[in-house]
Amino acid sequence: MVHHSGSIQSFKQQKAEDGKDQCVEESEVTPCETRAEETFPLQKPVTRVKLEARPNSIQRKNPARSSGLFFREGKKRIDYILVYKKSSPQVEKRCTFEKNLRAEGLMLEKEPSLTNNDIMFVKVHAPWETLCKYAEQMNIRMPFRKKCYFTDWKSKTLGSRFHLRCRQIKSWLPRNPMKLDKEALPDLEDTDCYTAPFSRARMHHFTINNRGTFFSNSTRSRIVHHVLQRTKYEEGKSKMGIIRLLGNNTYEAAFPPHEGGYKSRHPIKTHGAQNHRHLLYERWARWGIWYKYQPLDLIRRYFGEKIGLYFAWLGWYTGMLIPAALVGVFVFLYGLFTMDSSQVSKEICEANTTIMCPMCEDTCEPWKLSDSCVYAKVTHLFDNGGTVFFAIFMAIWATVFLEFWKRRRAELTYDWDLIDWEEEEEELRPQFEAKYSRVERVNPISGKPEPFQPFSDKLSRLMVSVSGIFFMISLVLTAVFAVVVFRLIAMEKFASLNWYFVKKNWQFATSGTGVCINFMIIMSLNVVYEKVAYLLTNLEHPRTDSEWENSFSLKMFLFQFVNLNSSTFYIAFFLGRFAGRPGKYNKLFNRWRLEECHPSGCLIDLCLQMGVIMFFKQIWNNFMELGYPLLQNWWSRRKMKKRGGGGQNVENKAQLPQWDKDWNLQPMNAHGLVDEYLEMVLQFGFTTIFVAAFPLAPLLALLNNIIEIRLDAYKFVTQWRRPMPARATDIGIWHGILEGIGVLAVITNAFVIAITSDYIPRFVYAFKYGPCRDKGYHHDDECLQGYMNSSLSVFDIREMKNDSQFRYCRYRDYRAPPWSSGPYEFTLQFWHVLAARLAFIIVFEHLVYGIKSFIAYLIPDMPKGLCDRMRREKYLMQEMMYEAELEHLQKERKKNGRRYHHEWP
């Protein structure tokens, strides 16, 4: 912070103006307070020296001026920032709130903004006694005094010849380029220490080398946030919490500060990192290290376990997409290489004499089957012999992905000390406490009274919420119906257009325009869904923050999943199924004829729908995640320059204190990580549910996720204010949603292969009606000869048009010819194909479900070594607690001068 005389004078004036508020600033300095985390230890001594030596010349002057992370006296670290406008009328509420904050033990200091005269910052600091008090109340686990013993049998046998030889061979291999340089990353955690819930009565058990650094920055911010959430600003049980004050514009923002700038004039390799934010930018958020693993421990330390778990899951999902993308590319290449040799494509391209029935009854003319040669070849890219294999592979892949994620999550929760956190720290939402404070019930776990929501009230609110969900889903279906009507009108217009290119490729024109309009409707309705889901979730009054987030996440997923996939389900399972036949077409409103599938199948329409929506949605999401915050921050800087610094001319942004810089950044989404998870889960659905129709979906998802990781990292580090470091043990309700998508994917892929694609009709023809029916199945080129002619029925065109130059035309169906005894009735081949489709669905689902269940049974949710280690450490921690207590008693007795004999140990 650059402390100008002008800023001091303006602060004094502001203090005089706010004298009526009776908000007295505290300036006491607790003796035990020291500067926290000015430097952080690195694993290599040489790097530590570089990191500590670099900022000495700056830090010797004044830490407050050099970083802007401390109070004006330069010792008390800023744990939280509150922002309000001087012109705000909520003066009484703010002063009462700040007075109660001081009563809770927090220290406050006000500072005017250097960029806007109407903005005032309230710096919040939690002294040591306050941190200890609330750390005990929140059951925060802190490092224990005793060090860990070797509990893993692998660690004991590292000296064996076998392991020494393995390490020697590994040293000969080239270094993995994806691994981060360990010398550049700090040793963040005391991993050789046990942890236990903090207790002031047993403070001597904990490893307290420095009171200023015992509680990390993220822990300090979490404690302050806990106090802010439960401090009153008016009389009454419902008048509490910073969330309500932000809602009624008493405060404009509340956030923990970043730890400094994320860029440095000196290279990190020679001068080290200035702070954790700078280190995160250099080792995580830069585009040049897109191929590197993520520093999850550093992410967790800076942003909290909840955000750390999200990036761990995103990285795991991206890594698991690599084999899926490779197999999908191989399937696509197989279709590409066999496209020209496909018997079905050759028959369509050579059918110069096959006349197809007109696409509309009034203005359309009959057309040649060979005109759709390109359409047939493109269809073969995605509808070939590898489709069934890839569908089975992706169903198994989804199960393996989720099962191994459970193991990975178990390891992370152990390493991050989250095993027992959920039972200890789950807290009630202040809104829930305020709403149901009159009715209390004893908690069966804690034995303490707490607010209780009656079952009748909960049921009535839930019914209203469910009704709202069904209403929004019906709105989605209405939008899909509108798109279907548009496709019917567009099909008729394109088929009768005078433009030859469009008339020849009317299938592509109809599908392309339909999917583009559908995409615009999808993105428009998403804005409405978010607001409705927010209102319905607040109406339910969930008990805890995790319940609120799970309820909101489920609603958002239901809305957007139906919105995104309803048109895809229509194309996959309804397009061309109810079109009727020439002379007896089914019409919508007795006006527009229903769509038909191309003679080579409807799969290409489904593929086009998925490809366009997936591609454009990923581009739009990436723009909204990074481009939109960049534009907003640019606009804020532009307005600041126009105002000339809001009364104080700030020539260089680097001269601004950290709280001013953070205020000019964009806040994190109000819904936390819901939008981030929702985007990836919807992508997972696109990758698995209809993957039989679009084998390139995993490749597009992989490329997008590689960009997504760095986009999110850059956004969190540089464009967003630092979010409140929250804790979590898993990814919440999203895991259950992913498992549900995996089950749905098996069903949909079975139906896509059996109904949408032509795999089953070709299979039945080859074994029952083709030239190989008596010889056995040999090769597609031999066994599928005549398939196209067999799949097309004959219609007497003069029944529909008397002036036509053709007598007969062909259409896609299995019906008897007009000269038979039962004209236009279904043939025996139709029933054979229908029976084969139903049999395939049953066999496919049972086979794949059996394989999925067997794999899930084989892979335990937690590694055996981790289970043994946890049981061993639980036993050792009980031993150490007992020994530490005895040691403390011995010291107390020696201190009092009393001698006891026959004591243990």
Specify the higher pLDDT residue, 382 or 323: 323
Taking 90 as the threshold, does the pLDDT of residue 323 lie above it? yes
Q: Which residues pair with 792 in a beta bridge?
A: 812
Q: What is the pLDDT of residue 67?
A: 56
Q: Is 386 left (phi over 0), alpha (psi -120 to 50) or beta?
A: alpha
Taking 50 as the threshold, does the pLDDT of residue 190 lie above it? no
Cα dihedral 208, 210, 212, 215 sign: negative
Q: What is the pLDDT of residue 381?
A: 82
Specify the higher pLDDT residue, 194 or 90: 90
Question: Which pLDDT band, with edges at 50, 70 and 90, does 899 fall under?
Answer: low
Residue-wise pLDDT for 504-528, tens only, equals 666 667 777 877 888 888 888 888 8
Residues near 680 by beta carbon (within 8 Å), at least 6 away in sequence: 314, 317, 705, 708
Least confident span in 253-262, 314-323, 577-586, 731-740: 577-586
Q: What is the pLDDT of residue 257?
A: 92
Q: What is the pLDDT of residue 401?
A: 92
Residue-wise pLDDT for 41-50, tens only, equals 333 333 333 3
Which residue do the tokens 């109904």 mark? 755
Q: How many helices (H) and strands (E) does the chain have?
A: 35, 16
Q: What is the pLDDT of residue 524?
A: 83
Amino acid identity for residue 480 in this structure: V
- Residue 322 — φ and ψ, nearest 5°? -60, -55
- Residue 550 — φ and ψ, nearest 5°? -65, -40
CB atoms within 10 A of CB 24: 13
Secondary structure, 3-state, 432-451: HHHHCCCCEEECCCCCCEEE
Q: What is the pLDDT of residue 10?
A: 44
Least confident span in 3-12, 597-606, 628-637: 3-12
Q: Helix or strand or coil: residue 588?
A: strand
Amino acid identity for residue 289 in this structure: I
**Is the peptide bond prior to 818 cis by the omega test (within 30 degrees of 0)?**
no
Q: How much is the mean pLDDT over the chain?
A: 78
Average pLDDT estimate for 777-782: 62
Q: What is the pLDDT of residue 525?
A: 84
How far apart CA 469 and CA 555 sit, in angstroms, is 7
Instruction: Give the pair of three-digit tokens for residue 240.
Output: 């509490």
Which residue do the tokens 């709130």 mark? 97
Residue-wise pLDDT for 618-657, tens only, equals 788 777 777 766 777 677 667 666 655 444 444 455 578 8
Average pLDDT estimate for 703-719: 90
Instruction: Give the pair of three-digit tokens for residue 675.
Output: 């939008």
Q: What is the pLDDT of residue 172?
A: 65
Alpha helices by DSSP H, 338-427: 343-349, 373-382, 386-415, 421-425
Average pLDDT estimate for 825-852: 92
Taking 70 as the threshold, does the pLDDT of residue 4 lie above it? no
Question: Which pLDDT band, with edges at 50, 70 and 90, does 903 fall under?
Answer: very low
The angle, 0 to 180 degrees and rounded to 10, between the axes of the packed helices 506-540 and 603-622 is: 50
Question: Which pLDDT band, with edges at 50, 70 and 90, does 315 fall under?
Answer: very high
Q: What is the pLDDT of residue 620?
A: 80
Taking 80 as the threshold, does the pLDDT of residue 62 lie above it? no
CB atoms within 10 A of CB 499: 9
Taking 50 as the threshold, does the pLDDT of residue 616 lie above it? yes
Instruction: Give the pair of three-digit tokens for residue 485.
Output: 């009507």
Q: What percent of the chain has pLDDT over 70?
A: 78
Q: What percent of the chain has pLDDT over 90?
A: 16
CB atoms within 10 A of CB 649: 10
Range with the largest mean pLDDT of 52-56, 163-167, 368-372? 368-372
How far apart CA 700 and CA 618 sit, in angstroms, is 9
Average pLDDT estimate for 13-35: 40
Residue-wise pLDDT for 386-406, tens only, equals 888 888 898 889 989 999 999
Instruction: Give the pair of three-digit tokens for residue 365.
Output: 């003319």
Task: Tell me if 314 sits within 8 A of 708, measured CB to CB.
Answer: yes
Specify the higher pLDDT residue, 892 or 414: 414
Least confident span in 50-54, 178-182, 468-472, 707-711: 50-54
Q: What is the pLDDT of residue 520?
A: 84
Rg (the chain; Cα; Å) = 34
Distance spanning both ends of the chain, measured CA to CA? 55
Which residue in 666, 709, 675 sits closest to 299, CA to CA? 709
Instruction: Give the pair of three-digit tokens for residue 219.
Output: 């822990």
Q: What is the pLDDT of residue 162?
A: 61
Q: What is the pTM of this model?
A: 0.80
How far apart CA 121 and CA 83 sit, in angstroms, is 5
Q: What is the pLDDT of residue 313?
A: 94
Range with the largest mean pLDDT of 540-549, 640-649, 810-819? 810-819
Average pLDDT estimate for 22-33: 38
How far apart CA 597 and CA 236 sit, in angstroms, is 66
Q: What is the pLDDT of residue 3?
A: 42
Q: What is the pLDDT of residue 324?
A: 93
Specify the higher pLDDT residue, 188 or 449: 449
Range with the largest mean pLDDT of 10-19, 121-130, 416-425, 562-571? 121-130
Question: Which pLDDT band, with edges at 50, 70 and 90, does 224 fall under?
Answer: very high
Specify the higher pLDDT residue, 422 or 533: 533
Least confident span in 374-383, 474-483, 499-508: 499-508
Which residue in 567, 667, 677 sits closest to 612, CA to CA? 567
Least confident span in 77-81, 514-518, 736-740: 514-518
Task: Tell me if 726 sits within 8 A of 673, measured CB to CB.
Answer: no
Element (H, E) at 147: strand 141-147
Taking 80 as the threshold, does the pLDDT of residue 746 lie above it? yes
Question: Which pLDDT band, with edges at 50, 70 and 90, does 78 fall under?
Answer: very high
Q: What is the pLDDT of residue 130?
A: 92
Residues near 188 by beta carbon (within 8 Å), at least 6 away in sequence: 40, 297, 298, 301
